[in-house]
Amino acid sequence: MSSNHSEEETTQDRLSVRRTSLVTLILDRLRELIAARGLRPGDRLPPERQLAAQLQVSRPSLRAALDWLNQRGALRRVQGGGTYLESNFAEILAQAQEKNLSASTFSEIVEARVYLEPMLARLAVRRASREQVESLQREVIEVGKLLPDPSVWHQHDLRFHTQIARFSGNSVLSSALEGLFPQVLASWQLGIHLVDLKFLHNQHREIIEAILMRDEDLAASRAQEHLEHYQSMLKQSSNERMHASQGSEVDRS
């Protein structure tokens, strides 16, 4: 019994390392590329397709990572003119890597969001202007027309949760959530094959409707249901990977 438990813990430890590697992969490779080319603040990054090929990552994953860096002020995007490094790029990248490496499991990240985001939704009900919420609602509607494109969802999902956090008017809570986004990106990659994007989109729509109705309890409960569904999806993905890893070890033996 203790032997089986020990083997399960060892497998979980290996999975945790793999997850952390997924989190840091894009940031590590981007940092290495920038250092190798001697790029400085104000310099332009290669075009997205070329950069994804150079970093050997998918374009949706790269785009989501660049979106996160852009939201933190580490990059500047010029419409039709490319993406440029800002002066705080190295600092933001170092902070992101430190947070990634210190995170023990993605389940803890989602658990934190389950507690944090319902409160942010409550505060958004109290403090967001109708114009702000209606603007985000229009975006939700437009994104629904483009599903099930995962690259579109990547960008929208980060923006959706970021905007609600900012609607809360609490910069401490908002920063706490945004600090989790590199791990969120990696956990998304782990469970992408399990995602029903239309279902998640409908949950976004319901959260926005509750905020527009100025119903704190409803907004909070819908935000919690949304994160609990995500938590369940991630747990299922983790179990599948653990069983696959155990199966491959049995085959090798």
Query: Residues 90-132: pLDDT tens digits?
Result: 777 766 655 554 444 567 778 889 999 999 999 999 999 999 9
Residue 209 CB contacts under 8 Å (≥ 6 apart), including other chains? 137
Say yes or no: 239 and 171 in one domain: yes
Report the candidate in 71, 73, 51 with the shortest Cα–Cα distance to residue 62: 51
Say yes or no: 158 and 203 in one domain: yes
| Residue that finishes a domain, picked among 94, 112, 131 | 94
pLDDT at 158: 81
Query: Residues 192-246: pLDDT tens digits?
Result: 555 688 899 999 999 999 999 999 999 999 999 999 988 787 677 666 655 654 5
pLDDT at 157 over 70: yes
Say yes or no: 79 and 120 in one domain: no
Residue 144 domain flag: yes
End-to-end CA distance of the chain: 20
Q: What is the mean pLDDT of residues 57-83?
A: 83
Say yes or no: 89 and 108 in one domain: no
Residue 119 CB contacts under 8 Å (≥ 6 apart), including other chains? 168, 173, 220
| C-alpha span between 143 and 81 (Å, rounded) | 24
| Residue that finishes a domain, picked among 94, 114, 130 | 94
Q: What is the mean pLDDT of residues 174-191?
A: 68
Q: What is the mean pLDDT of residues 154-168?
A: 89
Residues 56/118, Cβ–Cβ less than 8 Å: no
Query: Residues 134-144: pLDDT tens digits?
Result: 999 999 999 99
**190: DSSP letter:** H
Global confidence as pTM:
0.60
Say yes or no: 29 and 136 in one domain: no
Least confident of 38-47, 50-59, 150-159: 150-159
Say yes or no: 120 and 233 in one domain: yes
Say yes or no: 80 and 159 in one domain: no
Say yes or no: 197 and 227 in one domain: yes
pLDDT at 71: 80
Only one residue has tokens 């923006």, namely 159
| C-alpha span between 210 and 231 (Å, rounded) | 22
Say yes or no: 70 and 141 in one domain: no
Cβ neighbours around 187 below 10 Å, total: 26
235: domain CATH number? 1.20.120.530
- Count Cβ neighbours within 10 Å for each residue of 105-116 and write b for 16 or more, e otherwise: bbeebbebbbeb
How wide is the angle at C-alpha 156 spanned by C-alphas 151 and 231, nearest 5°? 90
Cis omega (within 30 of 0) for bond into 148? yes
68: domain CATH number? 1.10.10.10
Residue 3 domain flag: no
Mean pLDDT over the full length of the chain: 78
| C-alpha span between 134 and 9 (Å, rounded) | 47
Residues 226/160, Cβ–Cβ less than 8 Å: no
| C-alpha span between 98 and 119 (Å, rounded) | 26
Report the candidate in 164, 148, 153 with the shortest Cα–Cα distance to residue 206: 164
Residue 12 domain flag: no
Residues 80/90, Cβ–Cβ less than 8 Å: no
Say yes or no: 55 and 124 in one domain: no
pLDDT at 148 over 70: yes
Query: Residues 9-54: pLDDT tens digits?
Result: 444 444 444 434 444 677 778 887 887 788 888 999 999 999 989 8
Q: Which domain holds residue 179?
A: 104-252
C-alpha distances in Å from residue 109, one per residue of 16, 32, 115: 13, 27, 10
Tell me the chain's radius of gyration from C-alpha atoms. Answer: 19
pLDDT at 88: 81
Half-sphere exposure at residue 216, Cβ-oriented, CA atoms within 13 angstroms: 8
